[in-house]
Structure 1
Amino acid sequence: MWRVLKPILIVVALTAVSLSQGFFASGLPRMTEAFSSDDANLFLMIYMSADTTGSPLDWTGDLNEMENGLINNNITVLALVDPEGIGDSRVYLVRRDISGSEQIISTKLENPPFLPSDNEANMGDPDTLSGFVRYSLANYYNGGTIGLVIWGHGAGWAGVAIDKSDYLTRAELATALEEIDNTISRPIDLIIFDACSMGSIEFLSGLSGLVSLAVASEMEIPASGFPYDTILRRISLNLPMPPSEIAFSFADEYVKLSALITESSAQASVIDLSALPEAQERIASLSRTCILFDPLLRDLFNDTRDLSAAIQATGSIDVIDYLSRLCEHDDVPRKLLRPAIAAKEALSLSVLRNRVFVSASDLSIIRPESLSGLTIYYPDVPVSLTAYRETSSLAELWGEFLKRVMSAHPGAPPVTGLSLLTRDLRFDDGLNDSFEFEWEETPEVVSWEFEFCLSGSIDPALERSANDTDMQILVDALEAGFYDVFAYGLDGNGEYVFFEGFLGQAVSRFIDITARVPTTIDIRDTQLRITNLGSGEVTYVSVSQYDIPLSFAVPTPNAIGDIILVELCRNDTVLARGVLILDTGTFEMRLFSEPTVSPISLFVLTMILAFLSAFSVLHFLRIRHERKSRSGR
């Protein structure tokens, strides 16, 4: 009975926790890679760096968990362990422990050739990692998914697997993985970071092409680390499974443990590293644009950072949350909004699964939906950026932006006296159909750029430019509609020193239409009922002739593309009707007579139908009677 009830109770408990506190899950549905013969096997290499003075990391506990979780012979686990101390580095071939004891029963391998003679490995040396992986693959790999777990202390973009004062930087890890790639002639399938704050876009983007998938957390990971017993049991019971499902198992079981047992906040995501080069290029483009808008929008940039989910230990913020909040500002320049949306979309596509649990005590600090799976460096106080900018090309560009926004603010933007005026210059119909900008000559502004975007759109329908000495620009080439208008003032370096947005500006005009009524209809005592099928607005027009002129104001109360129903009515009886779609031109429409049937004709038609129905029933009964007579039943 307990075996039946246990999984049900776990699901109920997890659901209750997620509703009452802060469990959040997002990502793609179950992936559908085709299985290969290798999907029945998993080969895991655990790189355990515990040689840090006073480290609370429990490598023996995690090794015990691996022994307890191995219930399938198709999983092979090797662990390189460097405990605190000198001359005690070792490699284990993990064995299944059916007794569940706390003793390590795994086989300690003798004299691995990659270890130095004093048996003291430097886990911050990429040669140690590549040597361990090459040794493991050459001697114990029999096919299957290849996974590498980097276990130890993490420092986000700076590095991972801290050994005393050394650690693996992004470049060093990439070098080791490249050697592994050359050895096995393909990237390894997944890398799992059982280390704090390794969901860094700066760090992970450097691994593209060398690993397919990564499992990492934006947050700190407790000393107990990942629950290897439940992870390996889940994988054992579900083999064969593609690498993505194995990666999902690590993320799911870690956050589930936090929600059900430890009740400490946790987050883990699965990242498609093949998608990060595109995301990296989008962030680089955004960085260049942000630089052009500093210091003009410096307060906006920093205020948005202050609202975003922050990882205090590494000075980072959730990058997708930051971009989402930046894009929510209605008056953000479209020149900035476009690259921000593009970067957000590319980053979101790289996160295949995101698991979050925020404990009740932390809900006042952070919301689960604000942790999206990836971080970027954005400290809230000025710091030296030299080491950061040397880590990657992405960090170089983003670091230049950070250097600017963290410097002293130079003051307010220049005063230009810019004004936007609307004019009736095109159709002479009393409606404003053109824009006119006027400004004062301003020494700081060398040239102007103007964008006209249909409201709700981020792409410009029209762009114009002018020199500051022009003092005026007239725009009379826009179709009718509502526009968000943006003016940008540039200095001699091509950087924006002035910006102002004018939202919801109308370019209006009358559209003239001729409605033609069939001459066979008596138009006495009739009127036209005009219904906008989009807004539901109804107006009436009196009828005195067969060609009836109509005029529609666009965009208010109509808009280009609205569907208009025109009906000729007498005492609410529709005599003729037609449908038109508002266009920008002047045209005519024809109303078509409604089919009518006289009462006498309707009565005759009803009687005929009734007769045919009765005849059909009688004919059916007669045929049935004849069949019964022939069969004798």
Structure 2
Amino acid sequence: MGGDGNLGPQIYSDFKEMSSGASTDVVLLALVDYPGDKCSRVMEARPHSMDPVCQLPEICTGDPRPISDFLARGLVSFGEETRFAIGFWGHGHGVFGDFDSEEILVDRGIRFGALGAPPLLASGDRSMLPDETSGNSLTNREAGSALAVAFSRARRRVPVDLLFFDTCLNGSVEVYAGLERIARVFVASSLLIAGAGWHYELWLRIARDRPPETAEEWAHFAVKAYEVAYSQSKEPAHLVATSCGAELVEAFAGLVEALSQLEPREAKRLVKEAGLRSASVFYKENLDLRQLVRGMAEADGLVEVREAAERFLGVQEEVLVSETAPKVGAEGLCGMTVWCPVYGDLEDVGRYYGGFEFCRRTGWGELVRGVV
């Protein structure tokens, strides 16, 4: 919980929700960084109280090391029958501002190798959970490093049930591609998180009263709790649960490959035309993924591109687990975005985009370079 900033006051209302929903069967542990340089704590939600497990020196939520320590301890503190969800609470920006000159990463061999593999030494190679005291924040690659190291130290070789984001804009295919191996279901919003964020009390109470038998069912509970919480709100609200696996990214890589067979100018023209017809989400070059691919599927005379686009859309439909009902401001959105600079690289994402695993696996960054 990245509370060292303007979300600090929200910590306490969410504590109340968490403790109201907790029970002997539903346990919540939180690593909390408080505003200023006071301290950090590990807190446990018990029925109607939040109890400190331990007090820590001031941490920086932009540093993956204390996060991996906390996660590793949590993973080994419960039996094999326990269902796990790992979540990030705070600000989020998807791929935007996701650069840190002092980024702390582990080798790709552990970030994307077998889960639970022996640890390797960390090496240095905006993002989430900004820390106001240090001025730092957690990049998506650092989040992946924290999770991979935690699994390695805990010797955990199987994914957890859920990876969820009570953060804005992290429902992006780039974030998904970098973290999907960690969990069975990925739950996030491509929009700004509505109102006061996730409704923890309702979500935890549903899980208490109807213990989920699968990761998909647990994710569905989270989505429906969010839907109920904001059913009367006028704010755009959209939360989506997506099954994790390589299929979605591989299908997009197939589309990029089909586009790459075209003359470069023709490929860029097709991407730009599809992009200009797609909805932008908060940032102009942050486009709805499904709308972009649908635009390419409508290309006249380009059989291979159309088939690859339709194949991707089919996979995207298959991996959808649950989503909130459409609301004003979210109509037609799929809940997952992709960076596509059809209006120009307005946020200077291109300088670090090549470091995303999504870009490595698909070649998308190279394809859209100079698309304007």
Q: TM-score scaled to structure 1, two decimals?
A: 0.50
Q: Secondary structure at the match of 2:181?
A: coil
Name the counterpart of 1:160: 128
Q: Provide the C-alpha distance between the structure 1 equivalents of 2:239 and 2:140, rounded to a whole number of angstroms.
A: 20
1:445-484 mapped onto 2 (5 Å cutoff): none
Matched, 1:231 2:206: no
Deviation at 1:186, TM superposition (A): 2.4
Name the counterpart of 1:251: 223
Give 2:365's match in structure 1, choosing from 399, 410, 424: 399
Deviation at 1:325, TM superposition (A): 2.8
Matched, 1:79 2:18: no
Q: Provide the C-alpha distance between the structure 1 equivalents of 2:76 and 2:250, rounded to a whole number of angstroms.
A: 37
Name the counterpart of 1:109: 53
Name the counterpart of 1:136: 74
Q: Secondary structure at the match of 1:266?
A: coil
Structure having the larger proportion of residues in helix:
2
Deviation at 1:294, TM superposition (A): 3.2
Name the counterpart of 2:314: 345
Deviation at 1:348, TM superposition (A): 2.5
Matched, 1:169 2:139: yes
- Kindly tell me: are residues 327 and 393 of structure 1, through their superposed partners in 2, closer, same or farther at Cα, counting changes over 3 Å? closer
Is 2:31–2:42's contact at 8 Å kept on the other side of the alignment? Answer: yes
- RMSD between aligned alpha carbons? 2.3
Name the counterpart of 1:525: none
Matched, 1:388 2:353: yes
Q: Provide the C-alpha distance between the structure 2 equivalents of 1:404 and 1:267, rounded to a whole number of angstroms.
A: 31
Deviation at 1:138, TM superposition (A): 3.7
Q: Provide the C-alpha distance between the structure 2 equivalents of 1:56 and 1:403, rounded to a whole number of angstroms.
A: 39
- Kindly tell me: are residues 169 and 181 of structure 1, through their superposed partners in 2, closer, same or farther at Cα, counting changes over 3 Å? same
Is 2:71–2:147's contact at 8 Å kept on the other side of the alignment? Answer: no
- Kindly tell me: are residues 109 and 314 of structure 1, through their superposed partners in 2, closer, same or farther at Cα, counting changes over 3 Å? farther
- Kindly tell me: are residues 67 and 349 of structure 1, through their superposed partners in 2, closer, same or farther at Cα, counting changes over 3 Å? same
Structure having the larger proportion of residues in strand:
1
Name the counterpart of 2:298: 328
Is 2:162–2:183's contact at 8 Å kept on the other side of the alignment? Answer: yes
Deviation at 1:240, TM superposition (A): 4.8
Name the counterpart of 2:3: 50
Deviation at 1:86, TM superposition (A): 0.3
Deviation at 1:176, TM superposition (A): 2.1
Q: Provide the C-alpha distance between the structure 1 equivalents of 2:38 and 2:219, rounded to a whole number of angstroms.
A: 33
Q: Provide the C-alpha distance between the structure 2 equivalents of 1:240 and 1:375, rounded to a whole number of angstroms.
A: 28
Matched, 1:67 2:19: yes
Is 1:195–1:221's contact at 8 Å kept on the other side of the alignment? Answer: yes
Name the counterpart of 1:316: 286
Q: Secondary structure at the match of 1:259?
A: coil
- Kindly tell me: are residues 95 and 56 of structure 1, through their superposed partners in 2, closer, same or farther at Cα, counting changes over 3 Å? closer
Name the counterpart of 1:147: 85
Name the counterpart of 2:170: 198
Q: Provide the C-alpha distance between the structure 1 equivalents of 2:310 and 2:321, rounded to a whole number of angstroms.
A: 19
Matched, 1:242 2:211: no
Is 1:196–1:218's contact at 8 Å kept on the other side of the alignment? Answer: yes
Give 1:373's match in structure 2, choosing from 324, 328, 335: 335
Q: Provide the C-alpha distance between the structure 2 equivalents of 1:314 and 1:89, rounded to a whole number of angstroms.
A: 36
Q: Provide the C-alpha distance between the structure 1 equivalents of 2:371 and 2:264, rounded to a whole number of angstroms.
A: 7
Matched, 1:289 2:275: no
- Kindly tell me: are residues 153 and 310 of structure 1, through their superposed partners in 2, closer, same or farther at Cα, counting changes over 3 Å? same
Counterpart of 1:178, as a letter, is A
Matched, 1:266 2:237: yes
Q: Provide the C-alpha distance between the structure 1 equivalents of 2:205 and 2:62, rounded to a whole number of angstroms.
A: 31
Q: Look at both structures and tell me which one has the larger radius of gyration over its CA atoms.
A: 1
Q: How big is each residue's C-alpha offset from its partner over 1:601-625, in whole Å with a ceiling of 9 and x where there is no partner?
A: xxxxxxxxxxxxxxxxxxxxxxxxx
Counterpart of 1:172, as a letter, is E
Q: Secondary structure at the match of 1:342?
A: helix
Q: How big is each residue's C-alpha offset from its partner over 1:569-613, in whole Å with a ceiling of 9 and x where there is no partner?
A: xxxxxxxxxxxxxxxxxxxxxxxxxxxxxxxxxxxxxxxxxxxxx
Q: Provide the C-alpha distance between the structure 2 equivalents of 1:78 and 1:236, rounded to a whole number of angstroms.
A: 16
Name the counterpart of 1:122: 60
Q: Provide the C-alpha distance between the structure 1 equivalents of 2:334 and 2:212, rounded to a whole number of angstroms.
A: 29
Is 1:65–1:228's contact at 8 Å kept on the other side of the alignment? Answer: yes
Q: How big is each residue's C-alpha offset from its partner over 1:24-83, in whole Å with a ceiling of 9 and x where there is no partner?
A: xxxxxxxxxxxxxxxxxxxxxxxx11212x34761111111111122x321111111112
Q: Provide the C-alpha distance between the structure 2 equivalents of 1:176 and 1:217, rounded to a whole number of angstroms.
A: 21
Name the counterpart of 1:213: 185
- Flag the structure with more relative contact order, 1 or 2, with Cα contacts below 8 A and sequence separation at least 6: 2
Q: Provide the C-alpha distance between the structure 1 equivalents of 2:201 and 2:358, rounded to a whole number of angstroms.
A: 39
Is 1:310–1:318's contact at 8 Å kept on the other side of the alignment? Answer: yes
Q: Provide the C-alpha distance between the structure 2 equivalents of 1:237 and 1:55, rounded to a whole number of angstroms.
A: 30
Name the counterpart of 1:96: 47
Q: Provide the C-alpha distance between the structure 1 equivalents of 2:9 and 2:239, rounded to a whole number of angstroms.
A: 19
Counterpart of 1:390, as a letter, is G
Q: Provide the C-alpha distance between the structure 1 equivalents of 2:17 and 2:254, rounded to a whole number of angstroms.
A: 45
Is 2:278–2:292's contact at 8 Å kept on the other side of the alignment? Answer: yes
Is 1:160–1:169's contact at 8 Å kept on the other side of the alignment? Answer: yes
Counterpart of 2:309, as a letter, is A
Q: Secondary structure at the match of 1:51?
A: coil
Name the counterpart of 2:151: 181
Deviation at 1:243, TM superposition (A): 2.0
Q: Provide the C-alpha distance between the structure 2 equivalents of 1:400 and 1:348, rounded to a whole number of angstroms.
A: 26
- Kindly tell me: are residues 332 and 218 of structure 1, through their superposed partners in 2, closer, same or farther at Cα, counting changes over 3 Å? farther
Counterpart of 2:295, as a letter, is R
Name the counterpart of 2:105: none
Q: Provide the C-alpha distance between the structure 2 equivalents of 1:398 and 1:286, rounded to a whole number of angstroms.
A: 10
Is 1:171–1:391's contact at 8 Å kept on the other side of the alignment? Answer: yes
Deviation at 1:313, TM superposition (A): 3.4
Q: Provide the C-alpha distance between the structure 1 equivalents of 2:147 and 2:51, rounded to a whole number of angstroms.
A: 26
Counterpart of 1:96, as a letter, is P
Q: Which sections of structure 1, spanning at least 5 residues, go unmatched?
A: 1-47, 98-104, 407-633
Q: How big is each residue's C-alpha offset from its partner over 1:307-335, in whole Å with a ceiling of 9 and x where there is no partner?
A: 21221237311111221232234x14113
1:609-620 mapped onto 2 (5 Å cutoff): none
Q: Provide the C-alpha distance between the structure 2 equivalents of 1:313 and 1:255, rounded to a whole number of angstroms.
A: 24
Q: Secondary structure at the match of 1:178?
A: helix
Deviation at 1:358, TM superposition (A): 1.9
Name the counterpart of 1:302: 272
Q: Secondary structure at the match of 1:357?
A: coil
Count of residues in Structure 1 that have an aligned counterpart in Structure 2:
333
Q: Secondary structure at the match of 1:156?
A: coil
